Amino acid sequence: MLASSMKDEAITLISCHLPNVRLRHNGFLKHATWAALLASGLFAYQLTRPPEIPFEKHTLDLGSSESAAIADINGDGRLDIVSGENWYEAPHWTKHHFRDILYTNYYIDDLSTLPLDVDRDGHIDLVTSGWFSKKLAWWKNPGRTGAPWSEHAIETSWPIEFTFLVDLDNDGKADEILPQFGDPKAPLAWYERGPGGLVKHEVSPRSYGHGIGVGDVNADGRNDILTPEGWLEAPANPRSGNWSFHPEWSFKALGFLYVADVNNDGRPDVISSMAHDYGIFWLENKGDGRWEKHIIDDSWSQPHAVTLVDFRGGHNIGLLTGKRYMAHNGEDPGAREPLGVYWYERLIGPQTKQVEWAKHVLDYGGRTGGGIQIP
């Protein structure tokens, strides 16, 4: 797993040797192969704490970046790593510089890096977004032609906090693009690949604040869009029709909002994090538009990126996250506290449905954090 680095952090691979490990991001499970070493954090558990999984950290580059991606860039069947201006070729992580990125205000202005074959030519391209450049763009992979990578703008009018690959056409594939524009006057929109390029679909004439997500909130079989101010209910045809807004909660700056049945009561719950403050939490769906907040951990700040994982291969809910480094250049609460990378494992009582979370510390006090994106 790549814990994407921030400013003066290192680009780091944290891996484990479990054959059936699964990684889930934006609601989708992917098989992953890992490698081995590190430790644990303890809560006062009522339920039995599971044994630790060993992890090992590999430092690929002492440079810095705001995001990272894992994909087969050169088509050799191996998963490579992309971070910042470079991609790292497996299995020896050979460094290839392929683009230049704006550096301004102490930020490398590439806040998302998403692997997607945009032009369907068989080569994995990269969708990127930036705050200061106000740009959503994609980089064309030239394949083995020897030509340079080329950038193609999608939007150039609004600052973008982050962007995700999601499933909004309900085909089971996370290949639609969902940016979170950083201006409330910007429309909430998603993009899909069409025969003539990317097609934009506007959901709302305005945006709803820092944080965005996708999942089936009302269990009708259609993926909805979640925001810090509530959720937008998907119509039968997500490309047209009205997305009904449900203002059922209100938060400040969040990361990605996931939908999952945390307590196994048959209702979809919500998992998210306070991107610029203390707190990872879940919202229990009490029915009739009522939600109860439960803290998972509020002992460290700036969990900007959270990815759903299943490290034990048993279809259990796990969260992989880490502290972002100086997200607002030191102005956030707890910004100068030590970096760390953690994963949280849901523990649930078979009869009572009591939910607890086991905290596992993968790295602490070093140069590795969670960044804006954990692929």
Backbone phi and psi for residue 105, each to the nearest 5 degrees, phi listed first? 55, 35
Amino acid at 10: A
pLDDT tens digits along 188-203: 999 999 987 899 999 9
Backbone phi and psi for residue 348, each to the nearest 5 degrees, phi listed first? -135, 130
The pLDDT of residue 20 is above 50: no
What pLDDT sits at residue 195?
A: 86
What pLDDT sits at residue 85?
A: 96
CB atoms within 10 A of CB 248: 16
Q: Residue 347: which H helix or E strand, with range?
A: strand 340-348
The pLDDT of residue 16 is above 70: no
What pLDDT sits at residue 77?
A: 98
- Report the phi/psi class of residue 17: left, alpha or beta, with left for phi > 0 and alpha for psi in -120 to 50: alpha
Find out whether 3 and 64 touch, Cβ atoms under 8 Å: no
Mean pLDDT of the chain: 89
Check whether domain 2-364 has CATH 2.60.120, yes or no? no
* Mean of pLDDT values over 148-152: 98
C-alpha pair distances (Å), 143 with each of 64, 73, 122, 127: 25, 8, 9, 16
Query: Residue 355: how many CA atoms within 13 Å on its side-chain side?
Result: 20
The pLDDT of residue 36 is above 60: no
**What confidence tier does 350 reach under pLDDT thresholds 50, 70, 90?**
confident
What pLDDT sits at residue 272?
A: 99
d(CA 199, CA 61): 36
d(CA 239, CA 297): 38
What are the E-state strand segments in 37-149? 56-61, 69-71, 80-83, 86-89, 94-97, 103-104, 107-108, 112-116, 125-130, 135-140
Q: Is the pTM of this model over 0.85?
A: yes
d(CA 207, CA 162): 13
What pLDDT sits at residue 97?
A: 97
The pLDDT of residue 6 is above 50: no
